[in-house]
Amino acid sequence: MRPLEGRHALVTGASRGIGGAIARALGEAGAALSLLGRDRQALLERARELGGEVHVEVCDVTDPEAVRRAVEGAEAAWGPVHILVNNAGQAESQPFLKTELALWQRMLQVNLTGAFLCTQAALPGMLRAGWGRIVNVASTAGLKGYPYVAAYVAAKHGLVGLTRALALELARKNITVNAVCPGFTETGLLAQSLNRIVEKTGRSPDEAREELARTNPQGRFVRPEEVAQAVLWLALPASAAINGQAIAVAGGEV
């Protein structure tokens, strides 16, 4: 019952939230894990919690040289990366006319360029191994629009586009490329969004939560473990025919 035994999974943004849940799901399925993130202490704590075969690399996914070193370090520990989960991301909100170029570039760099760099670094090993799974954690913002987050929405749409293009390019290489697109999920990122709503609108925390939860037809927030199960399914050997898809994990919102 460990279908990923002998596979090496690398997860970015892996110390907490969705990334942490993904790492746990892949590890429980038998994968050797490499966890990437910017906070060494948080990564080490996550590794201790997970136990088993866990390697840690401190890395800013927007830094090409840091990404190269991190993937090389992961490969030195466990061999070629078979499963790459591009989860690292960031969300900031501003009305469009107040969106400064620095914010725009930051959203593109973290949410799109980071996935590009990590994929370029890990893909040669997958090609040598003759097997691979690339899963990009996008967002429902990659499938529809939301007000006041134009830069984030544009970056996540770009990530879905990258997923679809690369899936076709690698279709005959025994490598699949898919995206999962969570709706509002119970993470630290959601807590930050709720705090901004409270600060800018004067609503109470409960009112802010109710407002965001209404976007989900189930009337609730998604749990990180639910996103992790979708990623795990896409990583399984039996999911070889699932390619180029952007799967919403959002209770029917999309």
Tell me, yes or no, whether 33 and 119 share the same domain: yes
Q: Distance from CA of residue 242 to its chain's centroid?
A: 18
Contact 160, 179 (CB under 8 A): yes
Q: Which residue range(s) make up the domain with 189?
A: 184-221
Arithmetic mean of pLDDT over the chain: 95
Q: Which of 93, 83, 87 is nearest to 61 (CA)?
A: 87
C-alpha distances out from residue 149 to 10, 103, 179, 249, Å:
29, 10, 20, 20
Mark whether 23 and 95 lie in a shared domain: yes
| Gap between the Cα atoms of 233 and 135, Å rounded | 10
Examine the domain organization and report whether 123 and 208 are in the same domain: no
Q: Which of 78, 104, 152, 221 is catalytic?
A: 152
Indicate if 140 and 33 belong to the same structural domain: yes
Is 254 within the bounds of a domain? no
Residues 151-177 have pLDDT tens digits of: 999 999 999 999 999 999 999 999 999
Q: Which residues pair with 247 in a beta bridge?
A: 180
Say yes or no: 82 and 147 in one domain: yes
What single-letter DSSP state applies at residue 8? E
Judged against a pLDDT cut of 80, whether residue 189 lies above it is answered with no
At position 188, the amino acid (one-letter code) is G
Q: What is the pLDDT of residue 72?
A: 98
Whether 104 and 149 have beta carbons less than 8 Å apart is answered as no
pLDDT at 63: 98
Q: How far apart are CA 13 and CA 87, in angstroms?
A: 6
**In this structure, what are the phi and psi dihedrals at residue 186, rounded to the nearest 5 degrees?**
-70, 85
Total Cβ atoms within 10 A of residue 27 = 22
Counting the structural domains of the chain, the total is: 2
The answer on 213 and 166 residing in a single domain is: no
Confidence of residue 28 (pLDDT cuts 50, 70, 90): very high
Q: Give residue 194's pLDDT band: very low, low, confident or very high (50, 70, 90).
A: confident
pLDDT at 209: 87
- For 49-95, what is each residue's pLDDT tens digit? 998 889 999 999 999 999 999 999 999 999 999 999 999 999 999 99
pLDDT band at 136 (very low <50, low <70, confident <90, very high): very high
Q: Do 224 and 17 contact (CB within 8 A), yes or no?
A: yes
Same domain, 24 and 127: yes
Same domain, 189 and 177: no
Pair 99, 155 in one domain: yes
Q: Is 148 a catalytic residue?
A: no
What's the pLDDT at 226?
Answer: 98
Q: Are residues 174 and 158 in the same domain?
A: yes
Q: Cβ atoms within 10 A of the Cβ of 168, count?
A: 11
Q: How many CB atoms lie within 10 A of CB 41?
A: 9
* Burial of 239 per CB tally in 10 Å (0-12, 13-18, 19+): middle
Predicted local distance difference test score (pLDDT) of residue 200? 79
Q: Is the pTM of this model over 0.75?
A: yes
Q: Assess if residue 168 is contained within a domain.
A: yes
Domain assignment present for residue 234? The answer is: yes
Amino acid at 181: C
With a cut of 90, say whether residue 211 has pLDDT above it: no
- Is residue 106 domain-shared with residue 198, that is, in the same domain? no
Angle between the 150-169 and 101-108 helix axes, to the nearest 10 degrees? 30
